[in-house]
Amino acid sequence: MQNTSSSLPSWRGTTVLSVRKGNQVVVAADGQITFGNITLKSNARKVRRTGDGNVVVGFAGATADALTLFERLETKLEQYPSQLMRACVELAKEWRTDKYLRKLEAMMAVVDANVSLILTGNGDVLEPEDGLIGIGSGGPYALAAARALKDVEGLSAQDIARKSMEVAANMCIYSNANILIESIEIPS
């Protein structure tokens, strides 16, 4: 995230990727946290489960902001159990209109067995048409790699995510190859 003061380094980084293929949906994220040109942490956990383990969330942006939004999403999922889309829309409305929340700088990739969504601070709740999500500084690299690999026979969603995250880690200086992947099996 950009800092308004030119004398301080800025927080940057993160690659989060979600892949939906066959009977599986996965969310993967790198573990690197950088501050300017310094790597502060290489094994951060940017993917979490919620909604009784049926929802996986990956987040990019300012860490405290992302965790605040994650907690708010948990609350919305308690209000609207088994209704991920509704919970996300309600969170996005709150995020966009609340004086405190609208200053939070983060994005989230949110998935369950039925839907994959991107949530932004602009009030967006977007469902990608191809089941792929890439957010964060390395997101476009991982997304491009995933699109190239999605139709390859024999590759699972997890295989595609891992290979795509490795591509992003090799291209984005704010990402690393310390990859955490959470998956959800989709009932037939």
Supply the residues annotated as catalytic.
14
Could you tell me if 137 and 175 are in contact, meaning their C-beta atoms sit under 8 angstroms apart? Answer: yes
- Angle at which helix 157-171 crosses helix 139-149, to 10 degrees, equals 140
Name residues whose C-beta falls within 8 Å of residue 173's C-beta, 6 or more positions apart in sequence. none
- Please provide the distance, in angstroms rounded to a whole number, between the alpha carbons at the two ends of the chain: 40
131-164 residues labelled b (16+ CB within 10 A) or e (exposed): bbbbbbbbbebbbbbbeebbeeeebebbbbbbbb
Coil, helix or strand at residue 3? coil
Query: What residue has token string 């980084």?
Result: 13
Coil, helix or strand at residue 13? coil
Exposed/middle/buried for residue 5 (C-beta within 10 Å: 0-12, 13-18, 19+): exposed
